[in-house]
Amino acid sequence: LPIRHGTDIDAASLKKTAKFLGFKVKTHHDLERKEIQDKMWKYAKKDHSDHDCFACAILTHGGRDDMLYAADDKMELSHFTEPFQADKCKSLAGKPKLFFVQVTSRICFYFRRNVPNHLLHTNILADQLNKNILVGQVSADTLDASNQSPEVRLPVQADFLISLATTAEHYAWRNEYGSIFIQTLCSVLNKYGHTLDLHKLLTRVNGMVAYNFESWSKSENMNHKKKIPTFTSRLTRDLYF
């Protein structure tokens, strides 16, 4: 696979932002498929009793239908998320599992602002359908991720949030200065990460990318194009860092 120019800048920005938000950070570069799967299962099998949240950022090449590329083979996003389901990683049951995915095609874009800053504003097998796990009961009030008491059943797929650089069938932009999505995400988290919940933070990221940027290319059919990130949330509580 070709070199992903700018990905080192994205990785450095993510690491700095994650530490600012209180995460312990580990980075891995250019792993093969088996190495990635082994790492994910290794992290899932750790005791996370003293941890409130798990987050994973994926920077790689990709294709359609959630296809990701390891150094040697294709992968699916489910290969990253499945080890952390509540029935497999019980010490993270009832706690947020966050995945941020910057997947780009082999086309490298330049981009530019086009609006002033003041506009900021899995397939499941049949035997999995009824799986659930006991976690603490919660009320409708906003709760801290670690605030749990009497037992209640929760789906094993609960408490995941998947944040993607762009919508299906669209390009995710990146060049040697990094990607729009990751750089905007880090900017918003650095500024508002301790004051807004994650859904509001990601909505601001969507607005900034959608309004403030467009592609610049010598190819007419790639020029003046817009994009917007997307996120899918199965969080069961408001999440504040």
Q: What is the reported pTM?
A: 0.78
Residue 87 or residue 124, greater confidence? 87
Cα–Cα distance measured from residue 99 to residue 77, given in angstroms and rounded to the nearest whole number: 9
How many domains is the chain built from?
1
In a domain, 2, yes or no: no
In a domain, 129, yes or no: no
Kindly report, residue by residue over 5-50, the tens digit of the pLDDT. Answer: 568 999 999 999 999 999 999 999 989 999 999 999 999 999 999 9
Residue 116 — pLDDT band, cuts 50, 70, 90? very low
In a domain, 142, yes or no: no
In a domain, 140, yes or no: no
Closest by Cα among 19, 97, 103 to 56: 97
Task: Please tell me the least confidently modeled range out of 18-32, 51-65, 79-93, 104-118.
Answer: 104-118
Domain that includes residue 22, residue range: 7-123+150-233
CATH number reported for the structural domain that contains residue 80 in this entry: 3.40.50.1460
